Structure 1
């Protein structure tokens, strides 16, 4: 198994951050056929495969705001107001995704991208682990 970690500066606002270029480069360098496993080792972030740039990223953030309001209802209550919602989000958007790779290329659909989803405005820096698994 080949594996690497890269850093993402998400800043201090909710974000859907496109990590497709990093995933594609790692798959190219790994070469061959296999599975790319994308994992974010944080309790308050997730990985999503979705269309980006046509408004879907903002729609996702709006839906998460509706489902997980940044208010005082959360028992996990340290940090910024509503911080507990960030700890619930990975149950909806898991901290991982697995993408098939054929000939060193991601087999995403035409409009699909790989994104880091982060609602935690208290932690501006994230790590993403990419692992390439082959049967050989």
Structure 2
């Protein structure tokens, strides 16, 4: 198994950050296997979605509808509604696994691997890329 971590800055606002290029570079020339992407944070997730056509903004809007940034959350520290960030990984899990064939990600035409971060109080995220040979 090959594994490495990379650090990303998501800024002070909710973000969907496309990791596909970094994931592709990590998997390149590794042959066949599985790429596992994991974010070891209690308030972030990994999604495979289309980006650049509004879907990333739609995901943030859907999460805002499902998990409003208000005072309903029992987990209360940080910015208003921070508790929702701790619930979000139950909806957008902190991992994704993608087949790799001949060193290339076997994603669909419009699929991208994205870091989803609703936590505006923490702008730095670590992502672990692991390759399991097949």
TM-score, normalising length: structure 2: 0.99
* Equivalent residue number for residue 51 of structure 1: 50
RMSD: 0.6
* Equivalent residue number for residue 23 of structure 1: 23
Q: Alpha-carbon deviation of 1:123?
A: 0.3
Q: Alpha-carbon deviation of 1:53?
A: 0.3
Q: Using the alignment, how far apart are the partners of 1:14 and 1:39 within structure 2? A: 19
Contiguous gaps of at least 5 residues in structure 1: none
Contiguous gaps of at least 5 residues in structure 2: none
* Equivalent residue number for residue 77 of structure 2: 78
Taking the TM superposition and a 5 Å limit, the aligned residue runs for 1:5-24 are 5-24=5-24
1:26-78 deviation digits (Å, cap 9, x = unpaired): 0005x100000000000000000010000000000000000000000000000
TM-score, normalising length: structure 1: 0.97
Runs of 4+ residues deviating >6 angstroms = none
Question: How many residue pairs are counted as aligned between the two chains?
Answer: 134
* Equivalent residue number for residue 32 of structure 2: 33
Q: Alpha-carbon deviation of 1:134?
A: 1.1
